[in-house]
């Protein structure tokens, strides 16, 4: 799989910032077809870092309420939480 098509965008939230500071874990939104080995190889090729562990999860579409009607968004996304080796950092997350 092409490394540029595996990683879609970095996820920057309060929870991911705390994990990045405390545990050196970085969050990315990835392609639905990508696996853990694809994410690991893409990060090592694109950013020259050593990846320790990769955890992936599929999130479902959110439920939205509009008046008395409830609807569900069909969008599914896949996230990856990547733990880097000690002493490794990613420059795209630094200010």
Angle at 15 between CA 13 and CA 16, to 5 degrees: 65
**Which DSSP helix (H) or strand (E) runs through 46?**
helix 36-47
What residues in the chain have per-residue pLDDT under 50? none
- What fold, for 3-86? Alpha-Beta Plaits (3.30.70)
Structure tokens at 14: 């309060």
pLDDT digits (tens, 9 = 90+) for 68-85: 999 988 888 999 999 999
- Are β-strands 69-72 and 63-66 bridged in parallel, bridged antiparallel, or unpaired? antiparallel
Residue-level pLDDT at 73:
84
Q: Where are the domains of the chain?
A: 3-86
Residue-level pLDDT at 11:
92
CB-CB contact of 80 with 55 (8 Å): yes
Q: How far apart are CA 93 and CA 57, in angstroms?
A: 21
């Amino acid at each position: 799989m092409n490394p540029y098509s595996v990683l879609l965008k970095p996820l920057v939230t309060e929870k991911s910032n705390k994990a990045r500071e405390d545990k050196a874990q970085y969050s990315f939104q990835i392609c639905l077809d990508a696996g853990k080995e694809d994410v690991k190889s893409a990060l090592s090729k694109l950013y020259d870092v050593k990846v320790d562990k990769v955890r992936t999860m599929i999130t479902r579409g959110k439920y939205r309420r509009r008046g008395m009607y409830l609807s569900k968004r069909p969008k599914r996304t896949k996230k990856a939480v990547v733990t880097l080796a000690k002493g490794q950092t990613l420059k795209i997350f630094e200010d």
